[in-house]
Amino acid sequence: MRKKVQYTSTGEVVRKKPLSKRIWNHRGYYLMFLPVFLFVLIMYYWPMLGIRFAFFTYKPVGPKTFVGLKHFQSMFIDPLKAPAFWQAFKNTLELSIIKLLITTFASVIVSVFLNEMKNLFAKKTLQTIIYLPHFMSWTVVASIFTLILSKSETGMVNGLLVQWGIIEQSEKIFFLADKGWWRPIYYMVNIWKETGWGTIIFLATLSGINPELYEAADIDGASRLQKIGYVTMPALANTIITVLILNLAKVMNLFESVFVMYNIAVYDVSDVISTYIYRQTFNTFTPDYGFSTAVGLFKSLVGCVLVLVCNYLSKKTRGRGIV
Amino acid sequence: MAKEKASRTQKTTMFDIVNYIVFVVIALIVLIPIWKVLVDSLNQVGVYQFRIYPRNFTLDGYKTIIETSKLYTPFLVSVVSTVLGTLLGLTLATLGGYVLNQTEMPGRNAMAFFLLFTMIFSGGMIPEYLVMKQLGFINHWYILVFKHGINVYNLVLMKNFFEGVPSSLFEAAKIDGCSPMGIFFKIVLPLSKAALASIGLMFAVTVWNDYSTVQIYITDTKQVNFQYKLKTMIMDGDTPTTSYNVSQTTLYNAGIVAAILPFMILYPFLQKYFVKGVNIGAVKE
Amino acid sequence: MKKKVLSVLLASAMVLSLAACGGKTDESSASTETSVATSTEASTETSTETAEAAPYELTELKVVVDGTLTATEDNGQAAFVEQWNAAVSEKLGHSITMNITQLDHSSYSDAVGRLIIGGDLPDVMIMSASMFKQYETTGLLWNMADAYDNAEFQSRLTLTSINENLKTADGALYGFAPTYGNGCVTYVKKAWLDAVGLSADDIKTFDDYYNMLLAFHNGDPDGDGVDGNTYGVIAAGYANLGEAPYVNYLPEFWQDGYPAILQDANGVWYDGFTADACKAALKRLRQGYVDGVIDPDTLTASTKIAREKWFSNEQAGSEGAFTYWAGTWYQTLTDNLIKNEVDSELVVLSPIAEIKNTLGGYINREAPVWVIVDDGDGDNSREQAVFDAFIETMLDGDKVQMLWTYGAEGVHWSTAADEFVTNPGTDNEKSYSYEEGTFHLLPSPNDANSIWKKNAMDPALVISPLTNGFKASTELSDSGNVFFTNNCVDAPAGASCETLTNYSADITDAKSAVISAVVIDGVDVDEAIATYYTGVVGTVIEQALTELNSAE
């Protein structure tokens, strides 16, 4: 709708053909889209009919009954549940978005500097090393970091801090139980685990940059850092924005990484919606699937708003959205 | 590209030295926790604390995985489902990404919306479970293939890569009488090796690392994949159940290493396609 | 404009196709609804009229079980099932096959929920006491009271109270427990006691216990030459608020403090968490945290991490005491210490005076139960057949009970002449030799170095003993069981009312907040409890107490 006039690659204005003609011309493409269409329809849209359960009581046993907005009421208004829910909502947004921004930032930086590495063997080896953590499940990662960061005698970090005289034996920091430390630690572990993996998409983009651009910059006498700033980064911009916006849709789903790292001492700063819901249903052996569907719907709506806003901003600043 | 780069700047500058040092430090930080897993997997006895080297060296953990059918069967399930899932995923992502790139196609925006909508809204676990049941996918490892067969995130990334293919090539091909399929196979795919390699890898890793699908849809122990098996070994709760010939700790750490290994082997082969990806740029206007 | 029309068309096509598919889902879920609804009515009827009808020939039995069935797929389940089929077919006079679905222990209730929603109802499943409470009155389960009362094993029961207690007020029985519950006792490393010059017999009061922990922490019980790098005790959390009996991992600190709603001597319900006993317990935990006798990792540890740290090959940073399950776990903990080449001798502490004088002993949790699913057709013959094939045979005192107790003959146990060696070539090498006709356990199918212990039922906990005289000779687990039976009391009855069900998670969260505030942050106990009680939680608890007390 936005673009009224279409151009060919050579810049001539295309005269709009009648719709039927255009559809006919694209028949090959529709055919190619068909398998995708069917797959998405069956695997995604069919289950979506279940969204109606958000307005039902739906337990493994007992009848399904329509309850209207009851689930939303207990989420948003119930005096006992609502404060924890909104706290979890706020934590989800903060943890998730900051995590997304800093891991993406770290991935970009690492990719850019890895790209500058001239020794191909060193480059490949380093690349292989830094993506390894991605293959370790969160359970494993959490158990290792809990060990390293422990306040007990087995905690390596505290041990080193004492040994180097930075803190006294009696001042050992309980990293994972300290409300001030938990979030920085959480971000660091995420950086550790996901940065390397995140570079894959950026490195693939970087390999697509025309070398002539660098040569031209060389002729202009640009320094290495200048070349990064004027050639590399602009080339990455599109990918960065796409990755960021696409990941915004998943922002509300934050669960496992928090679940394995949080504990009762830091609920205030760490509890997210999914962990909150997990605890809500864990104690009931006949969980109400209607309630979890309602929460899921709420999460989707928030994700939807986030994506639309960012897509709008992307259109405003770059002249195009993600698709 | 290696040669071109080398010719671009010959001398090693201060920048390079700092760069190397920083990366060596990063690599070390990354390796410390992995080292713990590796050492524990080679240790005869279970050690909770951090050790630099194994106390009693043993390969029994790995031997047990290779020799116990209850452990290598899940591994094979993982390999097969990952290969098939990646193939299906790549096929659909490239098709979809390519079609979405046809800006003049009527209905394109609706199609894009149709896909993006699924990234945000979903029916939730139980409705999905009921649908999978209707489709007969419950309790079969191939649910891993279908569950990951379509991934809109990767599809959009693929589309972004295709945008880098100069449209003049398409125009030329169209004038030569190439069908959309023809253009796709003869021009787009050969030019997108870096994208295929990296997105293929992303698909492969998603399928490989997935244990929650197994947890939800598979109760038959013969159909589970390796990550799930590994998780049950790690999470093994309060029941003194399965024991193997080696210490539990040794075994599951060996399992963690085994889960990383295929990709450590595979990655160097894929890396060369990232280098070849430069072709896209080479013909870029 | 035309584009818009097109997308509308596309969208409507989509909706149409969706609607077409959706019809099917509705039907299937509707059928689940009706089956459950009818079963409610059916179960309230008495079973006597239909019980006399022609016996139902059951040829297939679907069983859903969690990790309590030790004969897992990896550990000889096939042989177990095969021998069960043979033995039960012979008993019933027609062929029957058992189909076992063993679900992941950690997400069992979740997986069961999905099976039920998906319409894959088993014939029999196992449920923990808390899970059973939620399902008991839903109409999904068959009332087996008559079947139980007329069961052949009645005459052999040595402990009838467990299943009698499971009966509802109007005499219905929806679950059957073949064993009693078991609980946790405190194990101490003997070598550590020796190193600090203490004897387990001298640990009689909390002060004795606490001084022992202090000695473990401040001294050098592991003998690495460094004082103060060891701890007194570790547990998975300061309290396990998610699962009754909540305080069984640190009983000496909690003593008579019980963080749940309790009934006093007059039958009046009150909140145990705000009682003085709990406040005192929190103070003790705080002191233990400050003095460093409780490993700080207790906050973050799972049971697995706690165990692993306790029997780690490297004893620096480990702990001397650990409270864990009695019986089989006595053996398992010892085996793990042996495997990790740590001094493996353990001492079991008798309950300290403070526990003995208030509770009476270590807490015995409520037993898990087997339930039979009501198919809802109003006819009891099928369910009765399931009872006869599964539960009746389970306690036959002979062949089938052996299968549930010790596993499959020739795979898990044997009476043939046998000779084998465990841990060959190590310091822990042990050889076994048996004559023809002696009952003995074999090495685990999966681990030639450790002897098989038991299958799903613990011979020491079962309510109707084996009549064939077979008895395994693992002294440790036996002595552990005997010790526990002599030193245990039943867990306090749990409260159950609608408000509690709706808010259980929120109340748990509020309690967690108090515990961490007091123990970790050092907030004053009275202050912390006051904030807990004056908040919204207080109102909810008041409401729950009113509901409970008015119901009596």
Per-residue pLDDT for A292 more than 60?
Answer: yes
Nearest-angstrom CA–CA distance, A241 and C528: 47
Task: Compute the nearest-CA separation of A3 from chain B (Å).
Answer: 10
Q: What is the pTM of this model?
A: 0.85
What number is the ipTM of this complex? 0.83
Say yes or no to pLDDT of A215 above 90.
no
- Nearest CA of chain A to the CA of B245: how many Å? 22
Residues of chain C positioned with their CB less than 8 A from the CB of B39: none
Is A74 a member of any domain?
yes
Tabulate helix, strand, coil % of chain A (nearest 5).
70, 0, 25
A63:C230 CB<8 A: no
Record: contact C17-A41, CB cut-off 8 A = yes
Among B9-18, B124-133, C69-78, which stretch is predicted with the lowest mean pLDDT?
A: B9-18
Terminal CA-CA length for chain C: 70
Provide the 10 A C-beta neighbour count for residue C353: 16
In three-state secondary structure terms, C373 is: strand
Is residue A22 included in any domain, yes or no? no
What is the pLDDT, as a whole number, of residue B208?
93
pLDDT tens by residue, A165-179 = 898 888 899 999 999
Helix or strand or coil: residue B225? coil
**Would you list which residues of chain A are within 8 Å, Cβ to Cβ, of chain C?**
1, 19, 41-42, 45-46, 48-50, 60-64, 79-81, 83-84, 143, 146, 150-154, 174, 176-177, 263-265, 267, 279-287, 289
> Could C503 and A41 be called an inter-chain contact, meaning their C-beta atoms sit closer than 8 Å?
no
Q: What is the pLDDT of residue C165?
A: 86
Partners of residue C127 on adjacent β-strands = C369
CB B217 within 8 A of CB B132: yes
Q: Is A246 on the interface with B (CB under 8 A)?
A: yes
Question: Domain segments of chain C: what residues?
Answer: 33-181+368-405, 184-364, 413-472
- Amino acid in position C69: L
> Which residues, other chains included, contact C78 with Cβ-Cβ below 8 Å and sequence gap of 6+?
none
Predicted local confidence at residue C39, as pLDDT: 40
The nearest alpha carbon in chain C to B114 belongs to C11
Q: Please report the residues numbered 196 through 225 in chain B whose beta carbons come closer than 8 angstroms to any beta carbon of chain C.
A: 215-216, 219-222
R_g (Cα) of chain C, nearest Å: 27
The tens digit of pLDDT for each residue in A227-262 reads 888 888 888 888 888 888 888 888 888 998 999 899
Instruction: Tell whether B214 is covered by a domain.
Output: yes
Of B43, B219, B239, nearest to C105 by CB-CB distance is B239
pLDDT of residue C37: 38
- Partners of residue A251 in chain B, C-beta under 8 Å: none
Give pLDDT, residue C18: 42
Instruction: Say how far apart CA C240 and CA C260 lie, in whole Å.
Output: 11
Same domain, B15 and B151: no
CB contact (8 A) between residue A81 and residue C506: yes
Q: Tell me whether A286 touches chain B (CB under 8 Å).
A: no
Contact B33 A145 (CB under 8 A): yes
CA–CA separation, C505 and C499 (whole Å): 11
Residues B91 and B224 in one domain: yes
What pLDDT digit, counting tens, does each position of B211-263 carry?
Answer: 889 988 998 888 999 998 888 877 665 444 445 556 777 888 898 899 999 98
Q: Best residue in A29, A119, A200, A289 to probe B by mutation, most B CBs within 10 Å? A: A29
Q: How far apart are CA B46 and CA B249, in angstroms?
A: 5
* Lowest-confidence region among A93-107, B30-44, C443-457: C443-457
Q: How far is B37 from chain C (nearest CA, A)?
A: 15
Interface test with B, best of C114, C328, C329, C332 (most B CBs within 10 A): C114
The residue of chain C with its CA nearest to that of A285 is C131
Tell me the pLDDT tens digit for each residue of A21-76.
888 888 888 999 999 999 999 999 999 998 999 999 988 887 889 999 999 998 89
pLDDT for C32 equals 39
Residue B36 to residue A192, Cβ atoms within 8 A: no
Q: Do A63 and C36 touch (CB under 8 A)?
A: yes
Question: Which of A139, A144, A307 shows the shortest C-beta gap to B235?
Answer: A139
Average pLDDT over residues A289-308: 89
Q: What is the pLDDT along chain C (552 residues), one digit of tens a residue?
A: 444 444 544 444 444 444 444 333 343 333 333 334 334 344 444 444 444 455 688 899 999 998 888 888 878 899 999 999 999 999 999 999 999 998 877 778 888 988 888 888 899 999 988 888 888 878 899 999 999 999 999 999 988 888 988 888 888 999 999 998 888 999 999 999 999 999 999 999 999 999 999 999 999 998 888 888 899 999 999 998 877 788 989 999 999 999 999 988 888 999 999 999 999 999 999 999 999 999 999 999 888 889 889 988 889 889 999 999 888 888 888 888 888 888 989 999 999 999 999 989 999 888 899 999 998 888 888 999 999 999 999 999 889 999 999 999 999 999 999 888 887 777 778 888 888 888 888 988 877 777 888 888 888 888 998 888 887 756 787 788 888 888 988 888 778 788 887 888 888 889 999 999 999 999 999 999 998 888 788 889 999 999 889 875
Range C33-181+368-405 has CATH code 3.30.70.2190: no
* B79 plus B220 within the same structural domain: yes
Contacts of C506 in chain A (CB under 8 A): 80-81, 84, 280
pLDDT confidence of residue B236 = 60
Alpha-carbon span C248 to A45, nearest angstrom: 47
Residues on chain B touching C427 (C-beta within 8 angstroms): none
Residue range A263-279, pLDDT digits in tens: 999 999 999 999 998 88
What total number of domains does chain A contain?
Answer: 1
Answer whether C444 sits within 8 Å of B237, measured CB to CB: no
Touching C: B residues 237-266, CB under 8 Å? 237-245, 247, 249
Q: Find, in chain A, the residue whose alpha carbon is nearest to that of B122.
A: A48
Residues 122-181 on A with a CB inside 8 Å of B are: 122, 124, 126-137, 139-141, 143-145, 147-148, 154, 156
The answer for B22, left when phi > 0, alpha when psi is -120 to 50, beta otherwise, is alpha
| A298 is a domain residue | yes
Collapse the DSSP code of C547 into the 3-class scheme (helix H, G, I; strand E, B; otherwise coil) and give the result: helix
User: How many Cβ pairs closer than 8 A exist between chain A and B?
Assistant: 284
pLDDT value at residue A154: 83
Q: Round to whole Å and give the CA distance between B225 and B73.
A: 8
Residue B27 has its nearest CB partner, among A130, A224, A293, at A130
Residue A195 region, left (φ>0) first, then alpha (ψ -120 to 50), else beta? alpha
Q: Which of C28, C322, C510, B201 is nearest to A81 (CA)?
A: C510
Is CATH 3.40.190.10 the classification given to domain C184-364?
A: yes
Do A80 and C540 count as a contact with CB atoms less than 8 A apart?
Answer: yes
Does A265 sit within 8 Å of C505, measured CB to CB? Answer: no
Residue of A49, A152, A280 lying closest to C317 (CB–CB): A152
Our separate counts of H helices and E strands in chain B read 16, 0
Residues B40 and B118 in one domain: no
Partner B, chain A 70-109, Cβ-Cβ below 8 Å:
none
Would C33-181+368-405 and C184-364 be classified into the same CATH topology?
yes
**Do B115 and B74 share a structural domain?**
yes
What residues 146-185 of chain B have any CB closer than 8 A to a CB of chain C? none
Counting Cβ atoms within 10 Å, is residue B17 exposed (0-12), middle (13-18) or buried (19+)?
exposed
For residue B255, the chain C residues in CB contact (below 8 A) are none
The CATH number linked to B115 is 1.10.3720.10
Pairs of residues, one from chain B and one from chain C, whose beta carbons lie less than 8 Å apart? 130
> Six-digit token pair at C532?
């807990």
Question: Can you give the residue range of the structural domain that contains B224?
Answer: 69-282
Torsion of CA C59, C65, C69, C70, to 10 degrees: 120
DSSP code at position C105: G
Tell me what pLDDT residue A283 has.
67
Q: Partners for B (CB, 8 Å, 3+ pairs)?
A: A, C
DSSP helix/strand/coil, C48: helix
Stated as kind and residue range, the H or E segment containing B59 is: none
Q: Which residue has the tokens 């889209």?
A: A33
Residue C143 near residue C43 (C-beta atoms within 8 A): yes
Specify if B76 maps to a domain: yes
Domain range for A84 is 48-318
pLDDT > 70 in chain B, percent: 88
Chain B nearest CA to C290, separation (Å) = 23
Tokens 């006792």 appear where?
C185
Q: Find, in chain A, the residue whose alpha carbon is nearest to that of C6.
A: A19
Q: What is the CATH number of the domain that holds A181?
A: 1.10.3720.10
The residue of chain C with its CA nearest to that of B45 is: C340
Give me the total of CB pairs closer than 8 Å, taking one residue from chain A and one from chain C: 131
Q: Cβ distance B107 to C6 under 8 Å? A: yes
CA distance B115 to A250: 15
Q: Which residue has the higher pLDDT, A17 or A300?
A: A300
Q: What is the per-residue pLDDT for B244? A: 56
> Shortest CB distance from B124 goes to which of A39, A114, A293?
A293
Task: Judge whether A11 lies within some domain.
Answer: no
Kindly identify which residue of chain B lies nearest to residue C66, measuring between CA atoms.
B239
Q: Tell me which chain B residues have a C-beta less than 8 angstroms from the C-beta of A196.
A: 30
Type of residue numbered B231: K
The answer to whether residues B51 and B159 belong to one domain is no
